[in-house]
Amino acid sequence: MIKIIGIKRYINEYIKRFQPICCENSLGVYGIHTYQNGKTLAEHRFRSNDRENLYSASKTFVSVGIGNAVGEGRFNLSDCILDFFPEYKDMAFSGSEKITIKHLLQMSYGHIHEDFSLYKSKDRAELFLVTEMKNVAGSNFFYKDLCTYMLGRIVGKVTGEKMLDYLKPCLFDKLEIINPQWHTCQLGHTSCSGGLFLTTEEFSRIGITLLQKGDVQTQSSRTG
């Protein structure tokens, strides 16, 4: 108990020193949550704990969803993504047939360009598959939002649900995150690469779960 009290005192002192640094440098920090063994040691709010767009941090939830779908036997990481989209096989760029789910997760799919201005004018799955491949799938890393979006579309193909609805019972409900909001594309599919709105405390629950190797803890056990 003495050791825990000492750690809490140290963390609170550190947060106290960190507060003016955030303000002076306009770092835009919303809040700090410090946990050890799933327990809250200290926290501080720089602003109200409203739900905010997590932007690319939304991708974390998609990756967990893919792992869950693999565990359910719905597909394998080695599966080629074009097999899930036969409607685009005739128009897909040569080499796209070798892109696997694992390549999407690793963002090593052969593209070197992303044009956000085309997102609203085309089906993003089609846009991804017709994009010119400059490299062989698996040979290079290029950060691209459409990779994560495609993962959501694959989940939709095998489950009949958009990613948000698929994740509600298997992840969000277990994390006690009620009615999460997530942007969709113009066709109604979960954006996946961004647009998930959570509070910083809600967001911290996925981190705790991963630290606990998938052991989901309730709110009471995290703060008790």
Q: Using one digit for the tens of pLDDT, what is the confidence trace for 181-197? A: 999 999 999 999 999 99
Whether 72 and 165 share a structural domain: yes
- Write down the H helix ranges in 72-144: 101-106, 124-130
Q: In this structure, what token pair is assigned to residue 187?
A: 């066709």
What CA–CA distance (Å, rounded) separates 71 from 56? 24
Whether 123 and 181 share a structural domain: yes
Whether 96 and 194 share a structural domain: yes
Whether 121 and 194 share a structural domain: yes
Q: Tell me the residue range of the domain where 31 lies.
A: 2-48
Which among 170, 179, 175, 169 has a CA at the least distance from the CA of 218?
Answer: 175
pLDDT band at 38 (very low <50, low <70, confident <90, very high): low
With tokens 């825990």, the residue in question is 4
Domains identified in the chain, total number: 2
The overall average pLDDT reported for the chain is 90
Mean of the pLDDT values across residues 7-21?
A: 86
| More confident position, 187 or 2 | 187
- Point out the domain boundary residue: 15, 32, 48: 48
Whether 115 and 206 share a structural domain: yes
| pLDDT confidence of residue 170 | 95
Percent of the chain exceeding pLDDT 70 equals 93
219 pLDDT more than 70: no
205 pLDDT more than 70: yes
Q: Full-prediction pTM beyond 0.85?
A: yes
Whether 95 and 160 share a structural domain: yes
Whether 43 and 57 share a structural domain: no
| pLDDT confidence of residue 113 | 85
